[in-house]
């Protein structure tokens, strides 16, 4: 039977180094650099908790540690963006985004989707019975009908967007 | 062997999965799907007209067509045809009716962007250019070919100053036995029923059919087709069936026309007898509102 092995935490710093290294925190956005006590600097979560009131975005920021140089480890704080898009429910974009999320179809034009379907089953089609041929023919005809409608609508929207004058948004989407 | 089949099957599944990840543009999909739709229409008509043997007739071509419906279209460049369209044209040609040879050429066919087909016309209609060429090579014609020259003179297709020379040359070279040029009244039409009756008395009724073929009025699209003025057939099941039915009539008409040519080559009295029946069949056009 094998002995159970324990894997040390990946981000943990060997205890022997903790005693000898000094730590500097570098805030990339402002260019500020200041020392950090080793008791905080060895743990990212501790850094975030300690500096939350000083650096508001630190919770989502990226912390990167340099290799020790002359006994000093520099921890760089880099701001990262939250996901883009309309974030709060009062945004005028929200109904559009909600509709997109709730929609069942993937937005592929019916002609393209049917083409892909036919391509997937093309080998079977070669041995179809007459009634199956008729059925497939009807499906393709329906796809032409709705696909053309969809394509025309799409072109009309693109054309309307191109022709409309730009307007400043009333809300700032999250992430900007 | 089984392992090889499994491997092939897996490769095919992988190929299809990769294709699914690469959806084409709307224009490409529309053209490729139109090509498939045309193929299905053609198959559908073949099943109607050959209900018992259609599987045997088309399976091989269909397998070839559906082996890959994307790549052949991707390979085509501007104004070039598509291999799969040529396969459909071949299906039509072999099972429904003959299409123009040009339409069987892979380089030229593309049902995806232009779903029309050109039938193989029988070529009895003669264009002005062809007639002029015949006139320029009068001494190289057959006796039956000289009949076309005679009809051209009777229909006013030869310049008045040349009529006498042409008529006399043909009369002597091709033994028309008609030394005198007939007087043809102006503004008249052929009563084709009367012409047929007049020719039937002498066993020459097939010549009336030959005149109809020259004129493009046989009632059969393959003989009446005029490439200069007729549009190619837009593929629909109904038009394919109609064209197929017309194609079935072609051998019967061809036999009559062959008979006409035989008569023109072999019977010495054919030209005088024809001309007599022809002149008798002419009717003056009545002007409306006169009288």
Kindly state whether residues A50 and A101 are assigned to the same domain. Answer: no
Tell me, yes or no, whether B239 and B279 share the same domain: yes
User: pLDDT (tens digit, 9 = 90+) per residue, B131-176?
Assistant: 889 999 988 999 999 999 999 999 888 888 899 999 999 999 999 9
Does the residue A122 lie in any domain?
A: yes
- Are B268 and B177 part of one and the same domain? yes
Q: Do A133 and B43 touch (CB under 8 A)?
A: yes
Residues B165 and B258 in one domain: yes
One domain for residues B214 and B99: no
- A106 & A48 share domain: no
- Does B105 reside within a domain? yes
Full residue range of the structural domain in which residue B75 is found: 2-117
Q: Is B291 within the bounds of a domain? A: no
Same domain? For B147 and B268 the reply is: yes
Q: Is residue A58 part of a domain?
A: yes
Interchain contact A158–B (C-beta under 8 A): no
- Residue of B19, B36, B61, B71 to mutate for A, most A C-beta atoms under 10 A: B36
- pLDDT of A9 above 50: no
The CA distance from B276 to A153, in Å, is 69
Nearest by CB to A151, from B26, B34, B44: name it: B26
Give the closest of B20, B66, B70 to A123, CB-based.
B66
B248 vs B103, higher pLDDT: B248
3-state SS assignment for residue B113 = coil
Q: Specify if A170 maps to a domain.
A: no
Other C-beta atoms lying within 10 Å of the C-beta of residue B25: 10
Q: Is residue A169 included in any domain, yes or no?
A: no
In terms of DSSP bridges, do strands B282-284 and B188-190 run parallel, antiparallel, or are they unpaired? antiparallel
Does the pLDDT of residue A139 top 50, yes or no? yes
Chain A environment of B74 (Cβ under 8 Å) = none
List, for residues B206-228, the tens digit of each pLDDT value.
Answer: 999 999 998 888 999 999 988 77
Residue A42 sits in the same domain as residue A74: yes
Of A27, A46, A78, which closes a domain? A78
Task: Report yes or no on B8 lying in a domain.
Answer: yes
What ipTM was assigned to the predicted interfaces of this complex? 0.75
The reply to whether A173 falls in a domain is: no
Q: Find the domain containing A26 and state its range.
A: 15-78
Residues A68 and A104 in one domain: no
Looking at B117, B138, B158, the residue that finishes a domain is B117
Together in a domain, A112 and A53: no
**pLDDT for A8 beyond 80:** no
**Cβ-defined contact of A125 to B66 (cutoff 8 Å):** yes
| Chain B hits for A120, Cβ within 8 Å | 16, 19-20
- CB–CB contact B20 A116 (8 Å): yes
In a domain, B122, yes or no: no
Beta carbons of B22 and A105 less than 8 angstroms apart: no
| The predicted structure's pLDDT at residue B75 | 75
* pLDDT of the residue at A107: 80
Nearest to B44 among A112, A116, A133 (CB): A133
CB–CB contacts below 8 A, A to B: 78
What is the value of pTM for the model shown?
A: 0.69
Taking CB atoms and an 8 Å cutoff, what residues of chain A touch B37?
Answer: 137, 140-141, 144
pLDDT of B279 reads 92
My answer on whether B163 and B274 are in the same domain is yes
Residue B37 lies in a domain: yes
Q: Are residues B97 and B34 in the same domain?
A: yes
Between residues A23 and A170, which one has the greater pLDDT? A23
Residue at which a domain ends, from B61, B82, B117: B117
Tokens 């943990």 label which residue?
A12
Q: Tell me if A118 is assigned to some domain.
A: yes
* One domain, residues B110 and B132: no
CB nearest to A126's CB, from B16, B44, B63: B63
Closest to A115 (Cα-Cα) out of B23, B75, B38: B23
Q: Which residue among B19, B59, B65 places its CB closest to the CB of A119?
A: B19
Burial class (CB in 10 A: 0-12, 13-18, 19+), A97: middle
Same domain, B137 and B268: yes
The verdict on residue A83 lying in a domain is no
Number of domains in chain A: 2
Q: Is residue B123 part of a domain?
A: no
Give the percent of chain B with pLDDT over 70. Answer: 96
**Chain B residues with CB-CB distance to A111 below 8 A:** 26, 29-30, 33
User: Of B81, B96, B117, which residue sits at a domain end?
Assistant: B117
The pLDDT score that the predictor gives to residue B227 is 77
Residues of B in contact with A109 (CB under 8 A): 26, 29
């Amino acid at each position: 039977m094998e002995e159970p092995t324990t894997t040390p935490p990946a981000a943990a710093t060997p205890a022997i180094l903790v005693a000898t290294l000094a730590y500097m925190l570098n805030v990339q956005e402002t260019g500020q650099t200041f020392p950090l006590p080793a008791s905080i600097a060895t743990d990212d979560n501790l850094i975030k908790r300690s500096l939350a009131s000083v650096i508001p975005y630190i919770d989502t920021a990226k912390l990167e540690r340099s290799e020790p140089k002359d006994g000093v480890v520099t921890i760089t704080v880099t701001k990262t963006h939250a996901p883009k898009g309309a974030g709060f429910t009062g945004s005028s974009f929200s109904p559009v985004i909600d509709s997109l999320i709730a929609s069942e179809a993937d937005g592929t034009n019916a002609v393209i989707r049917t083409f892909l379907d036919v391509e997937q089953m093309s080998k079977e089609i070669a041995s179809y019975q007459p009634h199956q041929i008729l059925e497939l023919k009807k499906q393709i005809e329906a796809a032409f009908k709705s696909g053309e409608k969809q394509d025309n609508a799409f072109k009309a929207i693109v054309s309307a967007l191109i022709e409309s004058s730009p307007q400043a948004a009333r809300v700032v989407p999250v992430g900007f | 062997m089984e392992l090889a089949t499994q491997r092939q099957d897996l490769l095919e599944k992988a190929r299809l999965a990769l294709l699914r990840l690469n959806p084409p543009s709307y224009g490409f999909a529309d053209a490729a799907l139109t090509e498939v739709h045309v193929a299905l229409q053609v198959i559908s008509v073949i099943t109607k007209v050959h209900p018992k043997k259609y599987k045997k007739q088309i399976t091989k071509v269909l397998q070839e067509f559906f082996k890959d419906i994307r790549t052949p279209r991707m390979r085509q460049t501007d104004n070039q045809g598509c291999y799969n369209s040529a396969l459909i044209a071949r299906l039509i040609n072999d099972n429904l009716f003959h299409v123009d040879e040009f339409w069987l050429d892979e380089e030229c066919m593309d049902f995806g962007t232009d779903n029309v087909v050109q039938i193989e016309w029988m070529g009895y209609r003669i264009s002005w250019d062809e007639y002029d060429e015949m006139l320029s090579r009068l001494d190289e014609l057959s006796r039956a070919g000289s009949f076309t020259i005679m009809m051209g003179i009777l229909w006013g297709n030869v310049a008045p100053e040349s009529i006498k020379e042409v008529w006399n040359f043909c009369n002597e070279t091709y033994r028309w036995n008609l030394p005198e040029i007939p007087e043809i009244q102006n503004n008249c039409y052929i009563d084709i029923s009367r012409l047929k009756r007049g020719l039937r008395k002498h066993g020459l009724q097939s010549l009336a059919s030959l005149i109809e073929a020259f004129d493009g009025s046989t009632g059969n699209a393959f003989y009446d087709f005029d490439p200069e003025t007729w549009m190619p057939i837009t593929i629909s099941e109904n038009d394919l069936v109609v064209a197929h039915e017309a194609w079935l009539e072609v051998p019967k008409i061809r036999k009559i026309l062959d008979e006409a040519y035989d008569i023109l080559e072999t019977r010495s009295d054919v030209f005088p007898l024809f001309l007599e029946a022809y002149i008798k069949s002419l009717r003056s056009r009545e002007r409306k509102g006169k009288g």
